[in-house]
Amino acid sequence: MRHEEGTFTGLHGLNIFTQAWLPDEPPRAAVILVHGYAEHSSRYGHVAACLVEHGYAVYALDLRGHGQSEGRRVYVGRFDEYVADLRAYRERVRAAAPGLPVFVYGHSMGSLIGLLYASGDQGDLAGLITAGTALRLSGANPVLAGLVRLLSAVLPTVRLGPPLAASKISRDPAVVQRYEDDPLVDRGAMRLRWLSEMLSASRQCIKLLPTLTVPYLALHGSADTLTLPEGADIIRQASGAPDTTVRLYDGMYHEVHNELGKEQALDDIVAWLDAHLPA
């Protein structure tokens, strides 16, 4: 396996960090990983290694304001800025892997970025995978959304509330400890503008689900208290893609790829990818 790092210029001139894990033999397809809130792409090295072992080239970016990319930490003016960066990165992947079918795998916040990208560029993807799909957020309700929207208009960069609870991402104590000790993970409270944009993106994705046609695999832990498993039910009921598969993992928390028993989730991802390679 070869590992490469690079950068590209994202929206508004920000420097966006990228990395790729590549098989030694010609790859069967490419998978673009889109990470979640406050984390970064290097936390997915084991996911990439699993996919590379099965012949897939894996590409990932640190979203603006995350990891090794530029930008105010965990802040975004508009959620579409994330989508624009993913779209620009997709063009770089196209140049690096010409002719290969491309899948997008988005986790949590990255699931919304993936859904928004897929809804506008469905002809460009062989399939979409989301995990911990952020369609229903813990504690979110219309009153809170309205209040956050008002506050974010005047105090967009202010941080409010506690940081994301590391103990809720996985039942594996080693995963939680590495997350808490990781200097590239942002451990501050959420910014008001980011939260407002996240809530808006969740609503937008629910509205767009019926228009989805690309093959779709959605994974969720049944004990996820950050992005609620109700999101998996919404996908099952509302997805317009005839080829939609929803997998719920009993007892797992938010990061099914980092959970005790993660091997089952990774095996399911590989099997789904294998089954959806173009003839």
Segments in 167-261 forming alpha helices (H):
173-181, 192-208, 230-238
What is the CA 161 to chain-centroid distance, rounded?
Answer: 23
Say what the pLDDT of residue 278 is.
86
Q: In angstroms, what CA-CA distances link 206 with 2, 44, 116, 202, 236?
A: 38, 26, 10, 6, 11
Q: What is the pLDDT of residues 113-124, one digit of tens each?
A: 999 999 988 888
Which of 69, 108, 119, 202 is catalytic? The answer is 108
Q: CA 268, CA 35: separation in Å to the nearest integer?
A: 19
Q: What's the topology of domain 2-275? A: Rossmann fold (3.40.50)
Strands 127-131 and 159-160: unpaired
Strand partners, 5: 19
41 belongs to the catalytic site? no
Which of 35, 40, 66, 254 is catalytic? The answer is 254
User: b/e map of 186-206 (b: 16 or more CB within 10 Å)?
Assistant: beeebbbbbbbbbbbbbeebb
Say what the pLDDT of residue 143 is.
65
Q: Residue 29: helix, strand or coil by DSSP?
A: strand
Q: What is the pLDDT of residues 107-166, one digit of tens each?
A: 999 999 999 999 988 888 999 999 999 999 877 777 677 777 888 888 899 998 788 999
Strand partners, 105: 33, 129
* Helix H or strand E encompassing 152: helix 142-154
Q: CA 215, CA 212: separation in Å to the nearest integer?
A: 9
254 belongs to the catalytic site? yes
Which of 40, 62, 224, 257 is catalytic? The answer is 224
Q: What is the pLDDT of residues 224-269, one digit of tens each?
A: 999 999 999 999 999 999 999 999 999 999 999 999 999 999 999 9
